[in-house]
Structure 1
Amino acid sequence: MSWELKAEGEDTRLPQIYAVSGAVSGGGEGGLGAWAAPVDGVIREQLERLQRLVERGSPEPAKAGK
């Protein structure tokens, strides 16, 4: 996994690359490909929490109606 902060005007971008290779023992459907979407979801959630922390001072989502 690699992270790189990039200035973009007055904003900052955080491109992230996560590469996995290998074999999963036990057979089953999909091999490593079956893990891609769940892992993407976890990483996306963590990056969204980091963004909220930096922008608002709290990693927690805004409460409904506020």
Structure 2
Amino acid sequence: MVWAGVTADGKTPLVFVQPAPHANLDDLKATLIKEWAKIPVETLRAAVDDMPKRLRACMKEKGGNFEI
């Protein structure tokens, strides 16, 4: 499984989580919780702080593609 996220500096790192599919929903939940705990607080704060700017850009483009 590969996730991508946008960092405060605008880069999009890929996060490789688990190479094989999860056996069941409980396994998926456990992996999500474990990986979420690894995300630095600064990354989460930057994402939250950046959200108003992203929402304004999204509304300006009426939900279409936009760049920040």
**Alignment TM-score, normalising by the size of structure 1:** 0.27
Structure 1 or 2, whichever has the larger Rg, is: 1
More relative contact order, 1 or 2 (CA 8 Å, 6+ apart): 2
Which of the two has greater helix per residue? 2
Which of the two has greater strand per residue? 1
**Alignment TM-score, normalising by the size of structure 2:** 0.27
